[in-house]
Amino acid sequence: MTCTNFPGSYSCSCILGNIYNEGICVSEDTCLNTTNYCHPLAKCNTHQGSYYCQCTDGYEGSFILNGINCLDVDECLHPDRSPCPQNSICNNTEGSFLCHCSPGYQPIDTGCEDIDECKSSNTCRSDQVCTNLPGAYDCSCPLGYHEENEACVDSNECENSPCHPLASCWNTPGSFSCHCHRGFTGNGSWCKDVDECVAFTNPCHSLAQCHNTPGSFVCVCMPGFLSIGPLCVDINECQQENGQCHSAASCINYVGGFKCSCNQGWEATTDNGLGKEGCVDLNECVSPNRCPHQTSCTNLPGSYACSCPANNTVCNTLAIMGESMNRSWFLYRFPVWYLVPPGGVLVGFDFAIRLIFCIMSKISEL
């Protein structure tokens, strides 16, 4: 209360917003006469001897006509944040708003949580796989299958050649498998050659050599052997054109090979009896004692001959004796060569004939 002095008097006055009543200042209710001034959805508030209108929650008025004209506030259009929790939808109402969980979510105390639709066995078909998603779900065919005429059918993955070029693809229900070809090893996505000559114990015959090839191996028999199935059999080279030995040579077969042996009266060249140049005639007449005394030696292909002079009685006598002895038992025991008739050739004397010839020669010298 304020006291103001006047000449011969004074006055008492209350501060703004209060009135003087029987010697005291009481607060003035300025809203008593303003009921029809504020909006029905506004509240009247006293303030320092006056009043103001304030729209209730959920409504707002213009800055100038605040509380006189109140309009609904759309809380769902808040520029900074939604008044509703995550995974929910805001619905504005008159003076307020409501929050509803989004489809695929259900309300809980703290907000909205995802509904796992896959917990129900009827969500998808029996041949499909249910996959739960945030606020939704997906029905799809299992891996290795595809949708066809509202059914899941097997996909043939082998049509796209998923395996290594050296592997075979085997399609299976919903999947596939890769298998390396025979002779290769690996998991099918990669394959490498197996060296059977190293991996296996004695893959070939003992007389054969093992040669590895891509995906396999071959057994090659050693020279002189013929492959018959898994075996290596000796080749008798002598059965084929006498082993291509010289015409004056004999072919001798042995295990794994052969050799050419020049016949008596021939000697081997550096070709060892093989081929046209394998043997050459042996000149027996090079030896000075090849023929008996008083005879001459004539070389023949593979042999030789001893010739008697036409007028040599001793040589002729020996020729007659040699002819007789050719029929004797001595010839059986000690084969002799014989003297041809006078003027002919004395062939192949042995020790007996030479002995006779020696005796006759000594007698003629006396």
The total of structural domains in the chain comes to: 3
Which of the listed ranges 33-47, 173-187, 345-359 does the model predict with the highest average pLDDT?
173-187
Handedness of CA 233, 238, 239, 241 (dihedral sign): positive
Is 106 domain-assigned?
no
Domain boundary among 169, 200, 218: 218
Q: What's the pTM?
A: 0.47
Is 185 domain-assigned?
yes
Answer with the residue of higher pLDDT: 239 or 133: 133
For residues 164-173, one letter each, b for 16 or more C-beta atoms within 10 angstroms of the residue's C-beta and e for the rest, the string is bebbebeeee
Answer with the residue of higher pLDDT: 20 or 5: 5
The answer, yes or no, to whether residue 328 has pLDDT greater than 70, is no
Predicted pLDDT of residue 63: 56
Question: Is residue 206 helix, strand or coil?
Answer: coil
The answer, yes or no, to whether residue 247 has pLDDT greater than 80, is yes
- Residue 155 CA to residue 165 CA, distance in Å, equals 21
- Residue 65 CA to residue 45 CA, distance in Å, equals 15
**N- to C-terminal Cα distance for the chain?**
207
Is 114 domain-assigned?
no
Is 236 domain-assigned?
no
Residue with tokens 């097997």: 154
Answer with the residue of higher pLDDT: 232 or 320: 232
Is 239 domain-assigned?
no
Q: Find the domain containing 68 and state its range.
A: 2-73
CATH code: domain of residue 183: 2.10.25.10
Is 258 domain-assigned?
no
Is 334 domain-assigned?
yes
Q: To the nearest whole percent, how much of the chain has pLDDT over 70?
A: 78
Structure tokens, 280: 């050459």
- Residue 111 CA to residue 129 CA, distance in Å, equals 29
The answer, yes or no, to whether residue 344 has pLDDT greater than 60, is no
Q: What's the pLDDT tens digit per position in 256-282?
A: 899 999 999 999 999 888 888 899 989
Report which of 235, 234, 227, 195 is spatially closest to residue 208, judged by C-alpha positions.
Answer: 227
* Mean pLDDT, residues 231-235: 93
CATH code: domain of residue 59: 2.10.25
* Mean pLDDT, residues 148-168: 95
Structure tokens, 237: 């080279």
Predicted pLDDT of residue 53: 84
Is 293 domain-assigned?
yes
346 confidence band (pLDDT: 50, 70, 90):
very low
- Residue 341 CA to residue 4 CA, distance in Å, equals 203
